[in-house]
Amino acid sequence: MNELRCKVLVIGGGPGGYVAAIRAGELGLDTVLVEDGQFGGACLHVGCIPSKAIIHAADAAHALTEPLALNAIGLTLTAPTLDFAKTIAWKDAIVARLATGVGALLKKAGVRSLRGRATIVDGKSAIAHADTGDQRIVCEHLVIATGSEPMALEALPFDGEDVLSSTEALALTEVPKTLAVVGAGYIGMELGMAFAKLGARVTIVEALPRILPLYDPELTQPVARRLADLGVKTLVEARALSFAKGALKVAGPDGSETTVAADKVLVAVGRRARTAGLGLEKLDLAMAGPFIRVDARSATSMRNVWAIGDVTGEPMLAHRAMAQGEMVAEIIAGARRAFDHRAIPSICFTDPEVVVVGLAPEAAKAAHGEILVGVFPFFANGRAMTLQDDEGFVRIVARADNHVVLGVHAVGAGVSELSAAFALALEMGARLEDVAGTIHAHPTLSEAFHESALKALGKPLHI
């Protein structure tokens, strides 16, 4: 068997792994990256990018069918038609373009990339099973970045036809007439809303008492209202039991059974670490449940074995994986770094969008005692009105004693783009006075952030 020697071996070319490899290459470390599928991982091929492309297409299609909103700005249209196969081809072209870009960046950084499944032999070597034959790779540092995969329900195994994971739902070439979404976390909600806007009759089935259960109810109420406007039926405290011939059987909170019409069922109940067949048992790693346990440096319990991204558990987000990947490469190159979880934005690209950075009021109170909270609604924001969407608000949470910002949250159209300002405030240790003293451009949605800080300081201007 061929043997390849390197300083850093990265297994998995998703956002965690490819960023780790690029940074390691840029820092002059001899780096090999092994990827089983395609560079870019779940995020680029079956996650962040394809879902946001479909959400954009759904928003565009839906905007043309909202006569009240269109009439208000003087537009009348005849009914549009949608060629969904073309939508999917457009989405695939974006993915292909970005994937080519990742390949070029790896090459530019001097990374040796191999396509094939890697199995770990020990903490210093692995075998890549490539089309061209097996290759043994010996390294000084092993970075595990194998990501995650959709979790099935025992009662509803994926069949690739009707019971789908998000991966297959994002590849449908026809909009189903009826769709049941099992699981009202962010993936189920984003895709469920998008398919409703594309014309599917959607039912959401959630075991907990409300949608987006990991977000606080104040933030999710506008999303629930929009769901109702879109005609999406939501069954909470409900359990999906079985599926046959276009019908999903569901048990309600009292145990009574109902049937939901569903040409397709999207099961979005979570993702699990992708470690099957990796050879993890060859290492003596401490685990955190099904995930690899890491410390603040993303170091595992074995020296010079690192793990990053979804394989290390929540929050399973592409930007967290990338930040860990960049950090690990720099640590291997000799830098002193540690990961700070305080300012990781989490976004639901629902309608309206939801952004959470840092601590919610309850958690802030529990951790820091007395707090200040400022909420500014978009109905008092001129830009939101001109965009015909003034639902939602920005909320800032700060310590009462020194005014240091602990969290910023928002719900509203387009608030995902405000997340950078929120994260920066937390990352820089901003106080309310820093946000209040920053000149925010007018008219923009970001003025709601400014005003939330003014409000927390007891001196609002526009409300």
Ligand X SMILES: Cc1cc2nc3c(=O)[nH]c(=O)nc-3n(C[C@H](O)[C@H](O)[C@H](O)COP(=O)(O)OP(=O)(O)OC[C@H]3O[C@@H](n4cnc5c(N)ncnc54)[C@H](O)[C@@H]3O)c2cc1C
Is residue 419 at the binding interface for ligand X, with CB under 6 A as the rule? no
Nearer to ligand X, 110 or 270 (CB): 270
What letters, b where the CB count within 10 A reaches 16 and e where it falls short, cover 221-252? ebbbebbeeeebebbbebbbbebeebebebbe
Nearest to 101 by CA among 179, 208, 171, 22: 22
Virtual torsion, Cα 317, 335, 431, 218, nearest 10 deg: 10
Is residue 87 at the binding interface for ligand X, with CB under 6 A as the rule? no
For ligand X, the binding residues in 250-279 under the rule CB under 6 A are 274, 278
The stretch among 69-77, 315-323, 362-370, 436-444 that binds ligand X (CB under 6 A) is 315-323
Q: Which of 127, 156, 187, 232 contacts ligand X by CB under 6 A?
A: 187
CA distance 378 to 207: 32
Hey, is 439 helix, strand or coil?
A: coil
Q: Which of 32, 163, 212, 316 contacts ligand X by CB under 6 A?
A: 316
Say whether 319 is catalytic.
no
Binding map of ligand X across residues 205-234, x = CB under 6 A, - = no contact: ------------------------------
Is residue 37 at the binding interface for ligand X, with CB under 6 A as the rule? yes
Is residue 41 at the binding interface for ligand X, with CB under 6 A as the rule? yes
Is residue 298 at the binding interface for ligand X, with CB under 6 A as the rule? no
The CB-of-157 to ligand X minimum distance in angstroms stands at 18
DSSP string spanning 225-273? HHHHHTT-EEE-S-EEEEEETTEEEEE-TTS-EEEEE-SEEEE-S-EEE
Q: Which of 8, 43, 212, 418 contacts ligand X by CB under 6 A?
A: 43
Burial category of 67 from C-beta neighbours within 10 Å (exposed 0-12, middle 13-18, buried 19 and up): exposed
For ligand X, the binding residues in 166-185 under the rule CB under 6 A are 166
Is residue 42 at the binding interface for ligand X, with CB under 6 A as the rule? yes
The CB-of-4 to ligand X minimum distance in angstroms stands at 15
**H/E segment holding residue 409:** strand 405-412
- Size of the residue set binding ligand X (CB under 6 A): 36
The stretch among 8-16, 23-31, 91-99, 213-221 that binds ligand X (CB under 6 A) is 8-16
Q: Which of 321, 408, 432, 435 contacts ligand X by CB under 6 A?
A: 321
Binding map of ligand X across residues 150-169, x = CB under 6 A, - = no contact: ----------------x---
Hey, is 134 helix, strand or coil?
A: strand
Q: Which of 8, 11, 307, 411 contacts ligand X by CB under 6 A?
A: 11
Q: At what angle do helices 84-108 and 15-26 cross, to 10 degrees?
A: 30
In eight-state DSSP terms, residue 362 is H
Of the listed 45, 141, 341, 442, which one is catalytic?
Answer: 442
Is residue 189 at the binding interface for ligand X, with CB under 6 A as the rule? no
Give 113's strand partners: 33
CA distance 28 to 149: 32
Give 128's strand partners: 118, 135
Return the active site residues.
Answer: 442
